Structure 1
Amino acid sequence: MTVMINAKNIEKTVATSEGSLCILKGIDLEIKQGETLAIVGSSGSGKSTLLGLLAGLDIPSSGSITLDGRDITALTEDERATVRADLVGFVFQSFQLLPSLTALENVMLPAELNGVAGARGLAEKYLQRVGLDHRFNHYPKQLSGGEQQRVALARAFASQPQILFADEPTGNLDTATGAQVIDLLFELNREEGATLVLVTHEQRLADRCQRSIQLEGGEIVADKRNKPSVVASVSGQN
């Protein structure tokens, strides 16, 4: 199977008032096409930093990262942005919806910017898929937290990414709403066949992935395969 993400000997060090702080050290990680991977660990272990590096949002202090065979650590920020536009979708804890755009416009925007044909049709399709066909013209402030995160899911998949990164996607949601969003995330990902990498502090969410790695002190201390789980269908969403 094709390796979609390959990180070799990744180090990330930042300068602080007290000197250099090493956030990640010696990270070696391969993620195959279509694989679902959870990154877990205690607060401050480097989870979100690693996700940002794998997605090309930042560059490591040393080491190399390739996405679909492209070495993003050798690219400029503009070149990395082009790679992200071609390959990557995001789901953030804080939704990251533009308040001046409707749900439909929020979903359409990245696809339009990436030159995806039929962006409006795709946006309508995925909003319908997440149960928000009655919310096309609503603005984020008119939507509940769960509805906003479902818009974010629709936006991520409407760009038809090969890799989907999710950073604590249920962090701002109550337990029941979070469970509905996660069911949708895994259902959509199974249908689309994207490589999924998510950061979470919830073990039940990590267990839904085929594989999970645990970070502590900026190092991978465990890498395990999980038993395949059955993704339940979602109904009665609010």
Structure 2
Amino acid sequence: MDQPFVIKAQNISKRVTLADETLEILSGIDLEIKKGDSLAIVGRSGSGKTTLLGLLAGLDTASDGAIYILDRDLSNMDEEERASLRAKHVGFIFQSFQLLSSLTALENVMLPLELRGDSHAKQEAEQFLERVGLGDRMAHFPHQLSGGEQQRVAIARAFACKPSILFADEPTGNLDTATGQNIIELLFELNRTEQTTLIMVTHDESLAAKCHSTLRLESGRVSI
């Protein structure tokens, strides 16, 4: 039996007004992605990749069209409702890592679990740090970790929350080639084992090729 669509976007457009000019960032975007699939959003700088990622994640609202996450129409939800949906079902990995410098690796992974009231936050965090190979670095602060290790903490934090959907914005952009390759393998391993739907923005064609499907943008439109 076919898996239901986790995300469905219909005729998405995004416009912003600057002074007396209206700038069209995205136009007429359609996509569908099923549970456990992976999608790469690719294109040149300024093509609208990160804007589309933000719309799909409910971080921003479309000017036209409809986006459904787990059968819920984002256009019919206010920011509080979208935030609640993200907290329950969505994870994020950014190239800037976005770890809290005053917290250890373990505490960074525990924090979102504690915020949602998980009574086993410490055990869950330890388990995922072990899975990303940082079992001996849990007490270290971000400044004591390499870039690759910090990204592993960010990945552990994202997957520990067991999101239905994981959004990644250039997850290997700040890493050297060898470290980036390790991060890629880890992402796809967890995508398979946890059946987490993975949607990523990347400029790396070899990374995009590992995904089930690719959406290529050019000047805000889907390029065939």
Shorter-normalised TM-score: what interval? over 0.9
Deviation at residue 114 of structure 1 after TM alignment: 2.1
Q: Is the 8 A contact 2:91 2:163 kept in 1?
A: yes
- Work out whether 1:74 is the aligned partner of 2:76: yes
Residue of 42, 45, 57 corresponding to 2:44:
42
Q: Which amino acid aligns with 2:189?
A: E
Residue of 112, 115, 118 corresponding to 1:113:
115
The residue number in structure 2 matching 1:166 is 168
The residue number in structure 1 matching 2:190 is 188
The residue number in structure 2 matching 1:206 is 208
Q: Is the 8 A contact 1:87 1:161 kept in 2?
A: yes
What RMSD, in angstroms, separates the aligned Cα atoms of the two structures? 0.9
More displaced stretch, 147-156 vs 8-17: 8-17
Q: Is the 8 A contact 2:68 2:74 kept in 1?
A: yes
Q: Is the 8 A contact 1:12 1:22 kept in 2?
A: yes
What SS does the corresponding residue of 1:138 show, helix, strand or coil?
coil
Q: Which amino acid aligns with 2:204?
A: E
Q: Which amino acid aligns with 1:73?
A: S
The residue number in structure 2 matching 1:91 is 93
Question: In 1, distance between residues paired with 2:117 and 2:214?
Answer: 34
More displaced stretch, 136-145 vs 16-25: 16-25
Deviation at residue 18 of structure 1 after TM alignment: 5.5
Question: In 1, distance between residues paired with 2:88 and 2:18?
Answer: 34
- Work out whether 1:26 is the aligned partner of 2:28: yes
Question: In 1, distance between residues paired with 2:208 and 2:42?
Answer: 7
Tell me the percent identity: 61
The residue number in structure 2 matching 1:226 is none
Taking structure 1 as the reference length, the TM-score comes to 0.91
Q: Is the 8 A contact 1:114 1:159 kept in 2?
A: no
Q: Is the 8 A contact 2:7 2:34 kept in 1?
A: yes
Residue of 142, 158, 178 corresponding to 1:156:
158
Deviation at residue 117 of structure 1 after TM alignment: 4.0
Question: In 2, distance between residues paired with 1:109 and 1:55?
Answer: 21
The residue number in structure 2 matching 1:138 is 140
Between Structure 1 and Structure 2, how many residues are aligned? 222
More displaced stretch, 37-46 vs 109-118: 109-118
Higher RCO by CA contacts (8 Å cutoff, separation 6 or greater): 2
The residue number in structure 2 matching 1:17 is 19
CA offsets 1:151-184 (integer angstroms, 9 cap, x no match) = 0000000000010100000000011111111111
Q: Is the 8 A contact 2:13 2:62 kept in 1?
A: yes
CA offsets 1:90-122 (integer angstroms, 9 cap, x no match) = 100100101111100100111121233411111
Q: Which amino acid aligns with 1:99?
A: S
Question: In 2, distance between residues paired with 1:17 and 1:177?
Answer: 43
Question: In 2, distance between residues paired with 1:115 and 1:202?
Answer: 37
Question: In 2, distance between residues paired with 1:67 and 1:116?
Answer: 23
Taking structure 2 as the reference length, the TM-score comes to 0.97
5+ residue gaps, structure 2, are none
Q: Is the 8 A contact 1:116 1:159 kept in 2?
A: no
Question: In 1, distance between residues paired with 2:53 and 2:174?
Answer: 19
Question: In 2, distance between residues paired with 1:39 and 1:173?
Answer: 19
More displaced stretch, 137-146 vs 114-123: 114-123
- Work out whether 1:54 is the aligned partner of 2:56: yes
Deviation at residue 56 of structure 1 after TM alignment: 0.5
5+ residue gaps, structure 1, are 223-238
Q: Is the 8 A contact 2:190 2:196 kept in 1?
A: no
Q: Is the 8 A contact 1:167 1:198 kept in 2?
A: yes
Deviation at residue 17 of structure 1 after TM alignment: 3.3
CA offsets 1:204-236 (integer angstroms, 9 cap, x no match) = 0001101111000111113xxxxxxxxxxxxxx
Question: In 2, distance between residues paired with 1:107 and 1:193?
Answer: 20
